Homo-oligomer: A and B are copies of this chain.
Amino acid sequence: MSVDRSSLKTGALVRQACRNGEFTGQTSGLAPGFAQANLVILPQTEALQFQEFCEKNPKPCPLLEVTVPGDPCPQILAKSADLRTDLPRYRVWRRGELVDEPTDITSLWQNDFVAFLIGCSFTFEEALIAAGLSVRHIDQGVNVPMYRTTIPCESAGMFSGPLVVSMRPFKPADAIRAVQITSRFPAVHGAPVHLGFPEQLGITDLSTPDYGDAVSVKPDELPVFWACGVTPQAVLMQARPEFAITHSPGCMFVSDLKDEELAADTTDQPGRSF
């Protein structure tokens, strides 16, 4: 009932191991180069409002795919996938309360369910590292620090709430490179939303993130903030819909899409910065 993580080299292998019950862990670092996605499942009525919310807030909620109502198979991210079985672990919510954390949701599936697959920052972090940048929370072996801001999202129907951001500290020259690199990935939060002045986002203390873990920020570094995929989850919990299913934290959907396929047709320009 367990599998060697290093053998899970592709999205298809990860999904198969999940489906067979052989893998129920976190997906960070699995299937390098394959895009991972956040999952939100809602009945069709709430789904329409949630889709509008995502479309109004593309930086925190970049939609990679919205499934046909009742169909658990994505047509874009992985045609062979079944969203009822192919994630390591799910969370089941009733009126905003966590009621179960199963590894399979086949028995819960209904013919009006719509699944949202939302871009994940793992993709742009791989691109940052490939460009030679150090990502602090990865170096420190902890989760990225995330903060609720005082910036409201655009609301839609029952869905509203503040923007949640993730923070990665960089020296100025690397911050400039990070803007260039992540601008190429609009489908996974894209360019930073802010850098330099946490207080302008209503963040009073970087050492006490609202989610994830604190990381060190050195005196010669700028804190750089990206819109975060926790935003739609926080908004979902706050809206307390009758019923919802999400992925369990860190247990993402691993697609067949390569990270580089999510890059916009742009080149980031190298050059000496200081």
Contact = CB atoms under 8 A, between A and B. Distances in A.
Interface stretch (A47-55, A82-90, A108-116, A194-202): A194-202
Interface residues of A, number: 36
A113 to B, nearest CB: 30
**What is the copy number of this chain in the assembly?**
2
Given A197-B220, A220-B197, A180 B191 contact: yes
B274 A264 contact: no
A79 to B, nearest CB: 28
Interface string A231-274: 00000000000000000000000000000000011111101111
Contacts of A220: 197, 200
Interface in A176-191: 176, 179-180, 183-184, 186, 190-191
Contact of A274 (B173, B193, B272): B193
Contacts of A268: 183, 266
A51 to B, nearest CB: 18
Interface in A129-186: 149, 151, 163, 172-173, 175-176, 179-180, 183-184, 186
Interface of A: 58-59, 149, 151, 163, 172-173, 175-176, 179-180, 183-184, 186, 190-197, 200-201, 220, 222, 264-269, 271-274
Given A186-B271, A200-B274, A220-B200, A176 B151 contact: no
Given A193-B271, A193-B272, A194-B273, 17 more contacts: A59-B271, A151-B274, A163-B274, A172-B196, A172-B200, A173-B193, A173-B194, A180-B183, A184-B269, A186-B271, A190-B271, A192-B273, A196-B196, A196-B222, A197-B220, A264-B267, A264-B269
